[in-house]
């Protein structure tokens, strides 16, 4: 059974700092990997989707990398802002017949202090 | 266009009551998913529909949980005889077949 771990569970940084969130998964036979953002009382907003053939994706101040062989992904946030405060979730897509099924980590709760 | 909507947004039920949670997917999306998110945890897969067919219900935690999508659009997740451990946020997502899932805001269920 696929297990996804996110480290750290919580992170507090001053505004303007660059930061890295980590995600690891136990079964490297994944289809895609996706990073989401969740604000309190709201659903999930997709940030970046890395397909299995890709090694990274970038969107604005966000960059996500994927190393399937080692079972790791990182989300890099540059020049953090208070509006980045949220919980960040990593999810892996299953492979083969179960490719629709997302397995999530518990998330990293980020606080950016003005 | 409109995203995935869920109702009610908040539901308080007394232990033993039945509840029904509704999901309106994005128009035209073939696939629909339900997830359960306990406090401090990531979402966990419950069930998956392709059109009106329920293709995977392996994540439903007990036979008190039942989901349907009779016309291939709106879906209802029903929980019978609610228990305190059912307290969670229930998330619905929809997608065009094989593509990225779009999530609704969730229904927060509290069982007292």
pLDDT surpasses 80 at A112: yes
Share of chain A above pLDDT 90, in %: 76
pLDDT surpasses 70 at B89: yes
Would you state the pLDDT for residue A34?
A: 93
pLDDT surpasses 60 at A58: yes
List the one residue out of B112, B76, B66, B106 whose CA is nearest residue B90: B106
Distance CA A54, CA A50 (A): 6
Q: Which chain A residues have a beta carbon less than 8 Å from that of B42? A: 4, 89, 91, 104-107
Q: Which chain B residues have a beta carbon less than 8 Å from that of A4? A: 42
Would you state the pLDDT for residue A97?
A: 65
List the one residue out of B24, B10, B6, B23 whose CA is nearest residue B108: B10
pLDDT surpasses 90 at A53: no
Cβ contact B100–A34 (<8 Å): yes
In the block, which residue shows the tokens 């890395």?
A50
Q: Which chain B residues have a beta carbon less than 8 Å from that of A104? A: 42-44
Neighbour-count burial of B28, counting CB atoms closer than 10 A to its CB (0-12 exposed, 13-18 middle, 19+ buried): exposed
- pLDDT tens per residue, range A21-46: 999 999 888 778 999 999 988 889 99
Pair of tokens at residue A53: 């053939």
Asked whether the beta carbons of A80 and A27 are under 8 A apart, the reply is no
**Nearest-CA distance A112 → chain B (Å):** 19
- pLDDT tens per residue, range B31-76: 999 999 999 999 999 999 999 999 999 999 999 999 999 999 999 9
Would you state the pLDDT for residue A100?
A: 80
Distance CA B106, CA B86 (A): 14
Query: If interface means Cβ-Cβ distance under 8 Å, which residues of chain A face chain B?
Result: 4, 34, 36, 41-46, 49, 89, 91, 99-107
Where residue A96 falls among pLDDT bands split at 50, 70, 90? low
């Amino acid at each position: 059974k696929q297990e996804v771990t996110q480290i750290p569970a919580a992170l507090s940084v001053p505004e303007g700092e660059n930061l890295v969130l980590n995600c690891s998964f136990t079964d490297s036979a994944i289809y895609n990997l996706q990073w989401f953002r969740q604000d309190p009382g709201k659903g999930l907003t997709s940030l970046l989707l890395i397909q299995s053939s890709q090694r990274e994706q970038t969107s604005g101040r966000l960059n996500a990398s994927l190393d399937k062989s080692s079972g790791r992904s990182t989300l890099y946030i540059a020049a953090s802002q208070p509006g980045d405060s949220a919980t960040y979730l990593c999810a892996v897509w299953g492979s083969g017949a179960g490719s629709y099924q997302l397995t999530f980590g518990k998330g990293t709760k980020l606080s950016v202090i003005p | 266009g409109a995203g995935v909507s869920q109702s009610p947004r908040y539901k308080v039920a007394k232990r033993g009551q039945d509840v029904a949670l509704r999901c309106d997917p994005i128009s035209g999306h073939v696939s629909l998913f339900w997830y359960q998110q306990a406090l401090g945890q990531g979402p966990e897969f419950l069930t998956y529909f392709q059109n009106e067919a329920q293709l995977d219900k392996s994540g439903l935690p007990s036979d008190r949980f039942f989901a349907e999508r009779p016309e291939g659009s709106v879906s209802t997740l029903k929980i019978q005889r609610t228990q305190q451990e059912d307290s969670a946020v229930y998330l619905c997502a929809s997608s065009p077949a094989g593509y990225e899932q779009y999530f609704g805001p969730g229904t927060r269920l509290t069982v007292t």
